[in-house]
Amino acid sequence: MPAIKSLEELKRIREEALQKKQLKATPGNVQVIVAMGTCGIAAGARDTMKSVLSYIETQKLSGVTVSQTGCIGLCEQEPILQIMLGDQPKVIYGKVDAQVAQKIMQQHVQNGQPVKENIIQI
């Protein structure tokens, strides 16, 4: 099984990541939640997720937790992305395609400025 490219490489990556994490952690606890019900997936949630992950990769953004949730009953607003920054209330975004996801990551997650036009008020 060609499971891991090289264990040595992974060990090195782990050491480096741990060091950097101490130096450059995102302030507070950041959680990005992508809705992954059937409705979300059909509307493009996987592309939204891919976009969030590629933003973390390219911007070398440490300390972000990415998770998923099921259908939250707002299927017509999918793909839905939720952001929790520290102890601030959760912000729910609708119609988050790959581009909007990049914008949310940059403006909201990195600079603390919510992207108003995509927020869902409930």
Partner 1 sequence: MREIALHLLDIAENSAAAESQNIRMEVHEDLSRDLLTACVTDDGRGMDVTTAQKVQDPFYTTRTTRNVGLGIPLLKLAAEMADGHFSLLSEPGKGTCVKAVFRHSHIDRMPLGDLSATFLTALVSHPDIHWTFIYQVTDKNGNSGDFSFDDAELKTELGDLSLTEPEVLTFVHGMIEEGIDALALQTIN
Per-residue tokens: 75: 């299927």
Residue 11 binds partner 1, judged by CB under 8 A: yes
What gap in Å lies between CA 25 and CA 44, rounded to an integer?
30
Determine the Cα–Cα distance for residues 81 and 83; give it in Å rounded to an integer. Answer: 7
Q: Does 99 bind partner 1 (CB under 8 A)?
A: no
Task: Report 59-88 residues binding partner 1 (CB under 8 A).
Answer: 59-62, 64-68, 70-73, 75
State the CB neighbour count (10 A cutoff) for residue 105.
24
Residues in touch with partner 1 (CB under 8 A): 1-5, 7, 9-11, 13-14, 16-18, 20-21, 34, 36-39, 41-42, 46-47, 49-50, 53, 56-57, 59-62, 64-68, 70-73, 75
